[in-house]
Amino acid sequence: MFSIMLRDDAVLEPLEVWQAQEFADHLDRAREHVRPWVGPRFIADAAATLKRYAEFQAADGARLFGIRDRGTLVGGVMFTDFNAAMGSCELGCWLEPAAEGRGLVTRASAVLLDWAFTTRGLHRAEWICRADNERSAAVAKRLGMTLEGVRREAWPFGDVRYDKQVWAILAPEWQAR
């Protein structure tokens, strides 16, 4: 397994099926905080989520990575979609409140973008978030992404439908940064 330093006290690592209990414990700490922003299927069953992403990765698809702060799993980043044939991917993230505000998601997402564009030769990366998720939109901005549009009332949560923002960056834009 690899580990990439994000800061002196934080690393990015793959999340694997054998880590299901640790992932479940982390989701229990983060569940209420992330519930409005991530799909219910993601947080419903930790072991099933890790297995699903392992299967996606084995097929050269989506991938899931954890962010550890001082050895504790506090969040992660992922390719929610990864399509090498189309040259595109979509990134996503989640984080416990205690780990917010330290740039961990931005740094981890930059690692994924660099790998997607430089190593895998993808052309386009997207970031999709609820329009009222200002923290997520701020990450997209820090990554140099462009807001391409809003999908109106496309994100159902509870009895309310929220707008979705679609952010993107192209390989030449990433490489010119």
pLDDT tens for the chain, residues 1 to 177: 689 999 989 999 999 989 988 988 888 887 776 665 555 555 557 888 899 999 999 999 999 999 999 999 999 999 999 999 999 999 999 898 889 999 999 999 999 999 999 999 999 999 999 999 999 999 999 999 999 999 999 988 889 999 999 999 999 999 998
166/162 Cα distance (integer angstroms) = 13
Prediction pTM value: 0.91
Domains, the chain, with CATH or none: 4-176 (3.40.630.30)
**What's the gap between Cα 61 and its chain centre?**
14
CA dihedral 135, 143, 15, 33 (to 10 degrees): 0
What does DSSP say about strands 146-157 and 63-69: parallel, antiparallel, or unpaired?
unpaired
What does DSSP say about strands 160-170 and 124-130: parallel, antiparallel, or unpaired?
antiparallel
The whole-number pLDDT of residue 145 equals 98
Is there a contact between 43 and 34 (Cβ–Cβ < 8 Å)?
Answer: yes
The whole-number pLDDT of residue 132 equals 93
Backbone torsions φ then ψ of 124, nearest 5 degrees: -140, 140
The whole-number pLDDT of residue 133 equals 92
